Copies of this chain bind each other. A is one copy, B any other.
Amino acid sequence: MATEQPPRKDSSWPKPRYRPEEVPAPAVGRLSLYLRELEGLLKQDCQTTSSKELAETLGYTDAQIRKDLAYFGQFGHPGIGYRVDELIDRIRWILGTDRTWNVLVVGAGNLGQALATYRGFQRKGFRIVAIFDNDPAKIGQRIGSTPVLEILPVDRLAEIITERSVRIGIITVPGDAAQQVTDAMVAAGIKGILNFAAASLAVPDNMPLASVALAVHLEQLAFRINARQSAHER
C-alpha cells in the first residue's frame, strides 16, 4: 500500500466486539482496578502476567478477568498470558486516559481542597484546573503547589469550563447546594460529574454521573459488622 496509516496505535488494535455502551458497568469498573494492579506490576519489572495471577491479587476469578477484557478485544497470548506494558497501554486507551482530562472542583472545604491537590489524579491523567467556592473569605486564597490554584467565585464557573475545556466537575459542597451547582455545570456544558455531596442529583438523561456517598460506606460497614456478629452468635 502506498500511504501509511496515521501513527495512532488504536487503528492497529484488535476487534472491538462490543460497542462501549454494551459493556456492563461492573466490567468497566474492574478495568480501572486491573490497570492499577498492572501499573504496580510494571514498577516491579514484571513483563507478563496472567488472568489467574491478577485474579488472585484482586480477589476475582480468572474467568471474570478474561471475560471483562474480552469485551474490548483480544489482548492475551495463549500459553503466555498478558504483556504488562501492552495491556496497560490498551486499558488506558479504552478508558480514554491516554490523553489528559481537565477537571474542576466546586466547594473549597477540607474535602474539596484535599481532592483538588491530590497527586493521584494527575498520575492517572486528570488535571485539576480550577477550584471554586462562594465564601468571600475563601475566594482569592491560593492552595496547593505545582500548580498553585486560586479559589475562584462560583459565578466564574461557566467561563472557566468553556475557556479551559473542562469536561469533568467534582462537587464537594454541602448537600443543599449541590443541585444548583449541578445545574450550573450542566448549563455550562460539563460532560460528567463526580459528586461527593450528600444529595441525590438530578441530571439530564444519559449524563455520566458518579456519586461517592462517604457516610454510606460507613453505614455499609456497620451493617456488615453487625451481620457478622449476629451470624457468629448462632
Contacts and interface: CB of A to CB of B under 8 A. Distances in A.
A118 B110 contact: yes
Given A121-B214, A213-B33, A214-B121, A222 B96 contact: yes
Interface string A194-230: 1000111000001010101111111111111111101
Interface residues of A, number: 68
A interface SS class = helix
28 contacts: A19-B231, A20-B227, A21-B228, A28-B224, A32-B213, A59-B200, A96-B223, A97-B222, A101-B218, A109-B114, A110-B110, A110-B113, A111-B114, A111-B115, A111-B118, A114-B114, A120-B198, A126-B218, A168-B221, A191-B225, A193-B221, A208-B220, A208-B224, A208-B225, A210-B217, A210-B220, A210-B221, A212-B214
